[in-house]
Structure 1
Amino acid sequence: MHKFDSIRPFYDSEVNKAIQSIINDPMLEAMMKFTFPEDENMTWKLLMLHTHSLRDFQINFIYPGLKKVLEKSSEGLTFSGFEKLEPNTAYLFISNHRDIVLDTSLLNSCLYENGLVMTTSAIGDNLVKRPFLNTLSRLNRNFVIERGAQGRKLLENSNLVSSYIHNAILHENRSVWTAQREGRSKDGNDLTHKGVLKMLTLAHEGQNPFDSFKELKLVPVSISYEYDPTDILKLPELIAKSLGEKYIKSENEDFLNLLRGIIGTKKHIHIHVHGTIEDDLDQINQEDGNLSEKLTLLTEVIDRYILQGYKLWPSKYIACDLLNNSDRYSDQYTAEEKQAFMTRFEEKVKTDDPVTRQNFLSMYANPVVNKEKLSASQE
Structure 2
Amino acid sequence: MSKFDSIRPFYDAEANQAIRQIIDDPMLEAMMSFSFPNDSKKHWKERLIHTHSLRDFQINFIYPGLMRVLEKSSDGLSTGGFEKLEPNTAYLFVSNHRDIILDTSLLNACLYENGLVMTTSAIGDNLIQKPFLHTLSRLNRNFAIRRGLSGRALLESSQLVSAYIRKSLVQENRSVWTAQREGRTKDGNDITHRGVLKMLTLAEEGNNPFGFFEKIKLVPISISYEYDPTDILKLPELLAKSRQEKYVKGENEDFLNLLRGIMGTKKRIHIEVNGILDQEIRQIAQDESNQSEKLSQLAEVIDHSIWKGYKLWPSNFIAYDLLEGNEAHHSHYTESEKQAFQKRIQEKLNSESPEELQNFLSMYAFPVINKQKVKLN
* Fold-level similarity (TM above 0.5): yes
Counterpart secondary structure, 1:2: coil
Structure-2 residue corresponding to 1:128: 128
Which one is further off, 307-316 or 38-47?
Answer: 38-47
What letter corresponds to residue 168 of structure 1 in structure 2?
S
What letter corresponds to residue 266 of structure 1 in structure 2?
K
* Counterpart mapping for 1:224-263 below 5 A: 224-263=224-263
Q: Distance in 1 between matches of 2:71 and 2:249?
A: 31
Counterpart secondary structure, 2:224: strand
Q: Distance in 2 between matches of 1:36 and 1:207?
A: 53
Counterpart secondary structure, 2:183: coil
Structure-1 residue corresponding to 2:323: 323
Q: Distance in 2 between matches of 1:90 and 1:286?
A: 24
Q: Distance in 2 between matches of 1:315 and 1:184?
A: 19
Deviations along 1:184-243, whole A, 9 cap, x unmatched? 000000000011111111111216334321322111000010000100000000011111
Q: Distance in 1 between matches of 2:363 and 2:319?
A: 9
Q: Is the 8 A contact 1:350 1:357 kept in 2?
A: no
Q: Distance in 1 between matches of 2:130 and 2:371?
A: 39
Q: Distance in 1 between matches of 2:118 and 2:374?
A: 31
Identical counterparts, % of pairs: 69
Q: Distance in 1 between matches of 2:2 and 2:216?
A: 22
What letter corresponds to residue 284 of structure 1 in structure 2?
I
* Counterpart mapping for 1:326-365 below 5 A: 326-350=326-350, 352-365=352-365
Structure-1 residue corresponding to 2:22: 22
The two structures have a TM-score, normalised by structure 2, of 0.98
What letter corresponds to residue 218 of structure 1 in structure 2?
L
Q: Is the 8 A contact 2:121 2:177 kept in 1?
A: yes
Deviation at 1:136, TM superposition (A): 0.3
Deviation at 1:341, TM superposition (A): 0.8
Q: Distance in 1 between matches of 2:192 and 2:374?
A: 15
Q: Is the 8 A contact 1:169 1:175 kept in 2?
A: yes
* Counterpart mapping for 1:3-82 below 5 A: 3-82=3-82
Q: Distance in 2 between matches of 1:261 and 1:253?
A: 12
Counterpart secondary structure, 1:209: coil
Deviations along 1:288-341, whole A, 9 cap, x unmatched? 221001100000000000100000000000101111221111100011111111
RMSD of equivalent CA atoms: 1.0
Q: Distance in 1 between matches of 2:249 and 2:169?
A: 34
Deviation at 1:351, TM superposition (A): 5.6
Deviation at 1:42, TM superposition (A): 3.9
Deviation at 1:41, TM superposition (A): 4.6
What letter corresponds to residue 149 of structure 1 in structure 2?
L
The two structures have a TM-score, normalised by structure 1, of 0.98
Q: Is the 8 A contact 2:210 2:291 kept in 1?
A: no
Q: Distance in 2 between matches of 1:74 and 1:41?
A: 27
* Counterpart mapping for 1:147-162 below 5 A: 147-162=147-162
Q: Distance in 1 between matches of 2:117 and 2:233?
A: 33
Q: Distance in 2 between matches of 1:15 and 1:375?
A: 48
Structure-1 residue corresponding to 2:218: 218
Q: Is the 8 A contact 2:95 2:180 kept in 1?
A: yes
Q: Distance in 2 between matches of 1:304 and 1:210?
A: 20
